[in-house]
Structure 1
Amino acid sequence: MSETDLPDRAVVDLLGLVALGELLAFERMAVDARLAPDLRRRAALGEMAAAEIGNYRRLADRIAALGVLPDDAMAPYVGPLQAYHDSTEPRDWAEAVTKAYVGDAITDDFLRGVAATLAEPDRQLVLDVLHDSSYADFAVAEIRAAVEADPRVAGRLSMWARRLLGEALSQAGRVAAAEGGAFAALVTRGGRVDVPELFRRLTAAHTTRMTAAGLNN
């Protein structure tokens, strides 16, 4: 077993975490699409939701191939991930796209930080399900349009983004500390992941993204 190889159980647990994130992201986007001001934007978010469920299926199939039921692999993470979504329900379209922009990017950064601990083919699978730049480009354009239409929106969305960051890091911390969970296994096996440093990088990247969207950190 190489230095980056992990026992199958830890790999399955991590894939379960990613799979649940994709499933909940699909549900969230499908619901939030109804907040869109027109059919074009509604369809755009609906297409993003379709990509999320496609990613979920790839992950679920891989988990099953490893001999575990996807439901069992996802179960330990239902609490923190559902808590994040329950505590960050958007009130309008601008908040919905900001949540997609902030939440998806933080998740991607988090997963990118742990993917290096995996062996192939699981490392590449996790990297493959990260969002491409079209997600961020769409969200930034919508945020900037909302601010241009009403400059007062900038302050509200900036506060909303800070709340999203705080909630995301809080729940990520719960995942990292979960007894017997995948992230805990990755951390404890040789200290492969520096959690404080990873969280610092997440916060720094968030600041850069806020600037790109024309919002204050």
Structure 2
Amino acid sequence: MAESHEGAATSTTGPDVPVAFEDPGYREAVVDLLGVIAYAEISAFERLAEDAKLAPTLADKVALAAMATAEFSKVAAIHDRVRTFGGDPFEAMTPFRLPVEQFHRHTAPADWLESLVKAYVGDGLANDFYREVAAYLDPGTRDLVVTSVEGGEHAAFVVDRVRAAIAADPRVGGRLALWGRRLMGEALIQAQRVAAERDALSALLAGGVDRPGLDLAALGRMFTRLTERHAERMALLGLDS
């Protein structure tokens, strides 16, 4: 779980109107964060719809199409939240097209099983990071982010298919374990690039007048949690992290 921050984003006029709303830097950071999440959802929709073509059965194709639809269904609420901060959702997404698309180019799955591992492990890692950042947001935005990155209903499907494939051919496990480690490495590289290029996001984690931030120790604990949750997902799939 993300670290608790009592009093973060304290309201002045209501439960969803924190002091931070008066801070242009905070508004910019939230618009950036929502922009990258929204574009990631759109990109996930496109990728999953494309990966459905690799499905070995009609049932698998329908399951992946359902995952794609679920991703796209979250976009409208994120766009609405961007507008409440005075931002344009399409302008908010634009800076993140290149890094998100670069990640997907560098991690294009070679087959059906790799696409499943990417959907479960790769997207899971990104979503874990967004949940961590959400701890530093106002209540309304925090709740939206947490809701937007939920996707546990699809986990059982992916775990079942990957474990069945490994049982049928144990050699598959080694290849997919390497693939999972590559996904994590590429995700961390892209996250670092985005943070380096978007000053507002970096400032968000540093805190503000009404929001405690991350010091080096807390940052280290956050990455430890991300690594541990990645290992847990890999273990559920029957893979070594």
**Alignment match, 1:35:** 54
1:196 aligns with 2:215: no
Matching residue of 1:16: 35
Structure 1 distance, partners of 2:98, 2:224, is: 24
Aligned residues, how many? Answer: 215
Q: Normalising by structure 1, what TM-score?
A: 0.92
Counterpart contact for 1:30–1:45, Cα < 8 Å: yes
Code of the aligned partner of 2:134:
A
| TM superposition score normalised by structure 2 | 0.84
Distance 1:49 1:132 in 2: 11
Q: Which residue of 2 aligns with 1:207?
A: 231
Range with greater deviation from structure 2 (59-68 or 187-196):
187-196
Among 116, 139, 158, the alignment partner of 2:177 is 158
| Preserved contact between residue 117 and residue 158 of structure 2 (Cα < 8 Å) | yes
Report the identity percentage: 45
Q: Distance between the aligned counterparts of 1:155 and 1:90, measured in 2? A: 15
| Rounded Cα–Cα distance in structure 1 between residues aligned with 2:112 and 2:198 | 37
Stretches of structure 2 lacking an aligned partner (at least 5 in a row): 1-6, 10-17, 21-25
Measured against aligned partners, the alpha-carbon deviations of 1:180-216 in whole angstroms (never above 9, x if no partner) come to 34x2121233562343332222112111211111111
Any unmatched runs of 5+ in structure 1? none
**Structure 1 partner of 2:240:** 216
Structure-to-structure mapping, 1:44-63, within 5 angstroms: 44-63=63-82
Between the aligned partners of 2:203 and 2:93, the Cα distance in structure 1 is: 16
* Number of the residue aligned with 1:127: 146
* Whole-Å separation in 1 of the counterparts to 2:133 and 2:86: 22
Q: Which 10-residue stretch deviates more, 2-11 or 57-66?
A: 2-11
Please say if residues 12 and 73 of structure 1, whose CA atoms lie closer than 8 Å, have aligned partners that are also in contact. yes
Which of these two proteins has the greater Rg computed from alpha carbons? 2
CA RMSD of aligned residues (A): 1.6
Distance 1:109 1:121 in 2: 18
**In 2, Cα distance between equivalents of 1:85 and 1:19:** 16
Q: 1:132 and 1:16 mapped to 2: Cα distance?
A: 19
Aligned AA (1:94)? L
